[in-house]
Amino acid sequence: MHICSGIPDYRSPGRPPYKPMQHKDFLANIPNRQRYWSRSLYGYPLLANADSNQTHQALARAEEQQQVKQIITQNVDGLHQKAGSLDTINLHGTIHNTICLSCGHSESRQSLQERLFMLNPKLVGTVKPKKIHEKPTASHRPDGDFVSSTDLEASFVIPSCLQCADGILKPDVVFFGGHIERSVWNHVDKTLEACDALLVVGSSLTVPSARRVVRTAMKQGAELAILNNQPTPMDDVANLCIKVSISLFMLYDIYIYQLSFGFVDLCI
């Protein structure tokens, strides 16, 4: 759903295979973290400067009119909030915060971005960060990753935690292979208890956490509508599947929420 905002996705047709950073690999050693942060230094501005698109805005309007009761998003880019959604559950966290895995101290990603540049002056200017409304290049990957031609990863300096100066700094997101916090699942499950209908917007539903939300809602008796121009693993159990362009569908504010008044929107 965030393609229209200029952020690449993982699974669009024709997109080359891409293995994102894995949770266990990030924790395994310093070179892997150097690789992640050196690439994120140039990839993050694309996410920081991205605009919400007409789909985010349509869902925010539906929320304001109480036609969408709750938004649960797999995306970590914060574009639902930029569009004006006030009550969003970030299932996989947010790329705009970082956390220390030792002491739990939180630091904004923008603050860390400035410290990354300050500690790695040789990298400044070697790659032009993307500005707002610029299209991503082939080097831009989902969730702020960036493939550069520089060979400076091995010498990249990662900032220390501002509080304990000891722990591993990690983006406050759930990497592939990582675990969603129990408190987040508690919030999701409590929301789904009152869910009459579930609208899935743009999600491939290939990630287990997304399918868990769908299955939990259906166990509660919720109806399922899927809006996606590609097949998903849950199409055969959905009450309604609409295989059209999401942006075109939302452009005319044609919502599926007429099924009932209790939608949770799960989007990717």
The rounded distance, in Å, linking the Cα atoms of 129 and 44 is 8
SS3 of the chain: the string is: CCHHHCCCCCCCCCCCCCCCCEHHHHHHCHHHHHHHHHHHHHHHHHHHCCCCCHHHHHHHHHHHCCCEEEEEECCCCCHHHHHCCCCEEECCEEEEEEEECCCCCEEEHHHHHHHHHHHCHHHCCCCCCCCCCCCCCCCECHHHCECCCCCCHHHCCCCCCCCCCCCCEEEEECCECCCCCHHHHHHHHHHHCCCCEEEEECCCCCCHHHHHHHHHHHHCCCEEEEECCCCCCCHHHCCEEECCCHHHHHHCCCCCHHHCCCEEEEEC
Catalytic residue chosen out of the listed positions 2, 92, 96, 140: 92
N-term to C-term CA, the chain: 6
Which tokens is 224 given?
């399922």
Identify whether 92 is a catalytic site residue: yes
The rounded distance, in Å, linking the Cα atoms of 89 and 71 is 6
Active-site residues, by number, are 92
